[in-house]
Amino acid sequence: MDINKKYIVDEHGNPKEVIIPIEHFRKMEELLGWDLDDETLQQLREAKMDREKGNKEAYIDLDSI
């Protein structure tokens, strides 16, 4: 993913902030899961625990969806 960015620097030329287009930020939010609500995050945590414990009863058959 190519991100167009503008650096904001201090008086010594050191980068302090970055400005990116909103559509790039939205894509980053989606990729990193920052746009997920608390309920969805909790469901993902529970699914991870089920997967790690090998709890196959927690899985849904794809044919039933």
Whole-prediction pTM? 0.58
What is the 3-state secondary structure of 1-58?
Answer: CCCCCEEEECCCCCEEEEECCHHHHHHHHHHHCCCCCHHHHHHHHHHHHHHHHCCHHH
Query: What residues contact residue 65 under an 8 Å CB cut-off, 6+ apart?
Result: none
Between 1 and 23, the higher pLDDT residue:
23
- What pLDDT does residue 9 have? 97
- For residue 39, the model assigns a pLDDT of 95
What tens digit of pLDDT does each residue of 9-61 get? 999 999 999 999 999 999 999 999 999 999 999 999 999 999 999 998 888 88
